[in-house]
Amino acid sequence: MIGILSFLGFTLLVAVIAYFATRTTDEQTSDGYFLGGRSLTAGVIAGSLLLTNLSTEQIVGLNGSAYTDGLSVMAWETLAAIAIVIAAIFLLPRYLKGGLTTVPQFLAKRFDVTTKTITSGLFLTGYVVVLLPVILYSGSVAISGMFDVPSLLGVSDNSALVICIWGIGLIGSVYAVFGGLKAVAVSDSINAVGLLIGGLLIPIFGLMAIGDGSVFSGLDILVSSNPERFDSTGNTGQEVPFATIFTGMMLVQLFYWGTNQQIIQRALGAKNLAEGQKGLLLASFLKILGPLILVLPGMIAYHYFDGGLASSDLAYPELVRAVLPKPLVGFFAAVLFGAILSSFNSVLNSSVTLFGIDIYKQHINQNAPETTVVKYGKIFGICLALAAMFIAPLIANAGSLFNYLQEINGIYSIPIFTIIVVGYVTKKVPAIAAKVGIVSGSLLYIISQFWLKNKFVDEALADANAAGITEPIQLKLIEAEAYPHFLHIMAILFVTNIVIMLIIGAIRPRKEPFVLEYTDQVSITPYKYVNQVGIAICCIVIGIYVYFAK
């Protein structure tokens, strides 16, 4: 009962603060609703970025990966810091100079409206079919298990799951659809504080449990008992082999932090460039601390349970249940609930933005006043949320989806990132090249990962079976060596797409070179120390890798 009361108390506190912080924002205009009136400050941007990024599929999934592979999976967190620095220094000034509300808007100016529409459609398809349902499903599994909802309500596991999915979905929809970006960003910032506190409590109590009440003793025992697991460089067969850091890993990070609408929309709502850059740099620094929440608990769980869990996906929830004092369970559940809501409502708000600006205003009613655009954006958001709530119960094995999601997202992430890069660094590559780049990038990736890969892996495993090899570890290594890692494939296709676009540009160049116009919507005077701070953050990341390299 104490846990439930603390859960409800913290959740209501966030809602009340978000209401009072946003009640004076004019959300009848596109800027007011979609970008929080272009008034977001550094702290709000950083907090919102942190919470938008973190949700149960990452907290549970990445700790599960750390349970299996050790420290090497920290690449998903630490390399994000470098990607955010690049976004702050190179991409954000261009976005704000062009007065963008959505990333695809740039593609309309640089190439044409069709390119923008295709890109927005790809984003929306990925959001509604994959990302939103996965967030709802994995979050509902966590909340249902933490509060034992089936016993609490006297219903079956499946019924409890559906109830939690619709509860999270409806609450998230209220924030995202009716509150706009500022409500999402403010609630995210408050939850970010709770997540940092609650997230750090898990490894602290975990280390205390290992070290008989001492955090430092627990850390010494953890390191000395399995020193090989504290290697920052992954091996073949693991989730993040070291070589992938220099190929597709950075491309995935740059796409996610620099061009993904659900993320970069927070920085697009900055009151000026300096504030936006400071927000991104603060978020970048916080990502360096991410492994303390997203990797270390999984490694502690491996030692605590002696590697004996039935599934790596159980590492985080089982550790929480084992080491967290009961009075803190409600607070931690509220923080986790905030992380789930944050990811859900942030994706939903970005979807509303993409539809309202890039599809409704562009193709359905070009003369619509801003109030109408916001109105129909909200209607679309409600439909999208309902669709995700119906799809979510159909998803299984949510805890193992983290790495799978990264692979699936490659269908649209690398093609979109390719055309944005080419769009900014060249002036005469035409619109037809962008369309070819999107189609070829998506098709080639699908063929590679869902046909060629299966073909090569099946042949390799058949040969292994014929040779009498049955050891699971050997079979896993054979499977990994049978076909290039999906991150390597992303890098290969990225280069291939660029070459295709440049060839088309050489054959059929634009008649007039593209010029990025300054819309004067916000000041684009940069933060005076952006380069120095960015370099310092990159040096810290490199230093961490060098220190832990075996």
Beta bridge partners of 474: none
**Nearest alpha carbon to residue 11 among 347, 331, 349:** 331
CA dist list (Å): 256 to 175, 253, 335, 440, 488: 23, 5, 24, 20, 17
Q: Long-range contact list for 307-312, CB < 8 A, 24+ apart?
A: 309/67, 311/64, 311/399, 311/400, 312/64, 312/65, 312/67, 312/68, 312/399, 312/400
What's the token pair of residue 538? 């990159």
Query: What pLDDT sits at residue 36?
Result: 46
Residue 58: both structure tokens together = 């990452």
pLDDT score, position 11:
58
Residue 40 β-bridge partners: 270
Question: Measured between alpha carbons, how far is 375 from 177 in angstroms, rounded to an integer?
Answer: 10
Kindly report the length of the chain.
Answer: 550
Per-residue pLDDT of the chain (550 residues; tens, 9 = 90+): 555 665 566 556 655 655 555 455 444 444 444 444 566 788 888 877 877 777 677 787 788 889 989 999 999 999 999 999 999 999 898 888 877 777 777 888 899 988 988 888 887 887 777 778 878 887 887 777 767 788 878 888 788 888 988 888 887 777 555 554 455 556 666 666 777 787 888 999 999 999 999 999 999 999 999 898 999 988 877 888 999 999 999 999 999 898 887 788 778 888 889 999 999 999 999 899 889 999 999 999 999 998 888 777 778 878 887 888 877 777 777 777 777 777 777 677 777 777 877 788 777 887 877 778 777 877 887 888 888 888 888 775 544 556 667 777 888 888 999 999 999 899 999 999 999 999 999 999 999 988 998 888 888 888 888 888 878 778 778 887 888 988 999 999 999 999 999 999 999 999 889 887 777 777 888 999 999 999 999 999 999 999 998 7
210 phi and psi angles, rounded to 5 deg: -75, -40
E strand or H helix at 441:
helix 431-447
- What pLDDT is recorded for position 183? 54
At 40, phi and psi to the nearest 5?
A: -70, 140
Q: How far is residue 180's CA from residue 147's CA, in Å, rounded to a whole number?
A: 30
CB distance 142 to 157 below 8 Å = no
Q: In the beta sheet, which residues pair with residue 270?
A: 40
Neighbours of 20 (CB within 10 A): 9
* Residue 210: closest CA among 69, 319, 356, 124: 319
Find where tokens 């509860």 sit. 167
Q: What CATH number was assigned to the domain covering residues 2-18+42-402+524-548? A: 1.20.1730.10
Q: What is the DSSP letter of 7?
A: H
DSSP code of residue 270: B
Tell me the pTM: 0.81
Position 426 scores a pLDDT of 92
- Write the CA distances from 195 to 59, 144, 319, integer angstroms: 11, 19, 17
Amino acid in the structure at residue 270: A
Q: At what angle do helices 401-425 and 132-147 cross, to 10 degrees?
A: 150
Q: DSSP string covering 239-263, please?
A: SSBGGGGGTHHHHHHHHHHHT-HHH
